[in-house]
């Protein structure tokens, strides 16, 4: 649509709003790269800590750099006691994303400020947020189950420590590896909605805590990161592979969407879905129950079949959130926590984007076309009508 010479692209589709050297999404061919490394190479080989280094410092670390980063992450995992106490006073029914967003914002209350009273927005604040996010999710997981939170361990990986803090015991190596790869796959994705929100906030010179809080708020909707939890709810509702096709036909018949399917950028299957599907299969063998994995497979097949019947050239394929559901579910994580786990991976990308924005900042302030009433005089209250019609 074009008004007064301005072009309006609903949802900013196809609009280039900035540049980044962090990641590249090639939607037509289904390729995702972080600083030039293909996730097909990274997912089976790199750890999340290596990706954090790649994104924040610009290169894959040598051994000494990786050790230093791991030590810093490990030393920053503990939460301020008043925030743990605050979580203990939250209603146990509170949604995990609400708790995470609130406590992340609350961290700024306990962070150092410079002589102007401003929080530091540097790489160490970024590492602090990456380190603490899983601690918050794990602490709330236990508190809402009526259990005491477990202190983090500095010697574990980000993934291993989360699973340890949640369960109170060390995870199996397969479980730690699965969550680590999940974090690798989720770490960055160019100017997705939450990352863009983080960059908009940072462009006003809001600090890293505020910018990450904006990103978390934007992640939670089910058209974005909330789709992971929604995809899990769908799997539960479908119940078994035999019900998948009927579920899809009924849902599409009601005009609903299949959660975890479709993507603004990818017009082929999301490259992350392949790795997550393989991981879901491996985990299902590990837990000795392939029911959730098989149901997800059947749901994907049925979705493709029915969507193609409706429109043979449709480009709605499984996205990253689709196989997140069986992976996190087989790790024993409850479905309403999935979006928080997404955030624990994506916080690496958010903070790297915030620092990239600050390094070459200009306020992000787009335009809109105006389609409200034509200008008119102020109407005194005694001359107004209840329905707003101007006399």
Binding site for ligand COA (CB under 6 A): 11, 223-224, 227, 257-264, 316, 319-321
Q: Of 11 and 372, which CB lies nearer to ligand COA in the complex structure?
A: 11
CA nearest 184: which of 345, 376, 377, 378?
Answer: 345
How many alpha carbons lie under 13 Å from residue 365 in its C-beta half-sphere? 4
Handedness of CA 283, 287, 289, 295 (dihedral sign): negative
Question: Does 330 participate in catalysis according to the annotation?
Answer: no
DSSP string, 120-150: P-SHHHHHHHHHHHHHHHHHHHHHHTT-PPP
Can you tell me whether residue 313 is helix, strand or coil?
A: coil
Least Å distance, CB 158 to ligand COA, is 22
Q: What span, in angstroms and rounded, lies between the C-alpha atoms of 126 and 351?
A: 5
Minimum CB distance to ligand COA smaller for 113 or for 223? 223
Residue sitting closest to ligand COA (CB): 262
**Residue number, 121 or 234, with CB nearest to ligand COA:** 234
* Annotated catalytic residue 148: no
Q: Which residue number, 73 or 296, has a Cβ lying nearer to ligand COA?
A: 296
Catalytic residue among 188, 321, 330, 353: 321
Helices first, then strands: H and E counts in the chain:
16, 5
- The token pair that represents 74 in the structure block: 């490990």
From the list 263, 270, 275, 353, the catalytic residue is 263
Closer of 156 and 307 to ligand COA (Cβ): 307
CB of 183 to ligand COA, least distance (A): 16
CB of 273 to ligand COA, least distance (A): 10
* Least spacing, CB of residue 99 vs ligand COA, in Å: 22
Backbone angles phi, psi at 133, to 5 degrees: -55, -50
For the CB of residue 352, give the shortest distance to ligand COA in the complex, in Å. Answer: 19
Are the beta carbons of 324 and 342 closer than 8 angstroms?
A: yes
Q: Which residue numbers are catalytic?
A: 263, 321
């Amino acid at each position: 649509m074009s008004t007064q010479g301005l072009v309006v692209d609903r949802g900013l589709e196809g609009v280039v709003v900035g540049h980044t050297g962090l990641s590249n999404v090639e939607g037509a061919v289904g390729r995702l790269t972080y600083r030039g490394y293909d996730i097909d190479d990274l997912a089976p080989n790199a750890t999340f800590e290596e990706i954090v280094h790649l994104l924040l410092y610009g290169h894959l670390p040598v051994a000494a750099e990786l050790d230093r980063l791991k030590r810093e992450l490990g030393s920053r995992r503990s939460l301020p006691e008043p925030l743990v106490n605050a979580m203990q006073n939250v209603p146990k029914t509170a949604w995990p994303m609400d708790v995470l967003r609130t406590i992340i914002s609350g961290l700024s209350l306990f962070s150092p400020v410079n002589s102007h009273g401003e929080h530091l927005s540097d790489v160490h604040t970024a590492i602090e947020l990456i380190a603490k996010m899983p601690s918050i999710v794990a602490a709330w997981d236990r508190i809402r189950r009526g259990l005491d939170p477990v202190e983090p361990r500095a010697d574990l990986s980000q993934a291993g420590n989360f699973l340890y803090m949640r369960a109170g015991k060390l995870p199996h190596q397969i479980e730690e590896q699965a969550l680590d790869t999940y974090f690798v796959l989720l770490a960055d994705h160019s100017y997705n909605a939450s990352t863009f929100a983080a960059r908009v906030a940072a462009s006003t010179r809001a600090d890293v805590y505020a910018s990450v809080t904006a990103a978390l708020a934007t992640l939670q909707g089910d058209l974005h990161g909330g789709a992971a939890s929604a995809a899990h709810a769908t799997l539960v509702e479908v119940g078994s592979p035999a019900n998948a096709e009927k579920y899809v036909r009924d849902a599409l018949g009601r005009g609903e969407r299949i959660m975890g399917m479709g993507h603004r950028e990818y017009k082929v299957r999301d490259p992350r879905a392949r790795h997550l599907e393989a991981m879901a299969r491996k985990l299902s063998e590990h837990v000795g129950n392939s029911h959730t994995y098989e149901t997800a497979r059947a749901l994907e097949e049925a979705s493709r079949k029915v969507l193609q019947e409706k429109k043979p050239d449709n480009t709605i394929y499984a996205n990253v959130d689709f196989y997140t559901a069986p992976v996190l579910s087989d790790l024993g994580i409850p479905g309403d926590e999935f979006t928080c786990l997404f955030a624990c991976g994506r916080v690496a990308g958010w903070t790297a984007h915030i620092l990239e924005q600050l390094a070459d900042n200009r306020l992000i302030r787009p335009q809109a076309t105006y389609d409200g009433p034509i200008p008119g005089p102020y109407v005194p209250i005694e001359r107004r009508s209840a329905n707003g019609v101007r006399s």
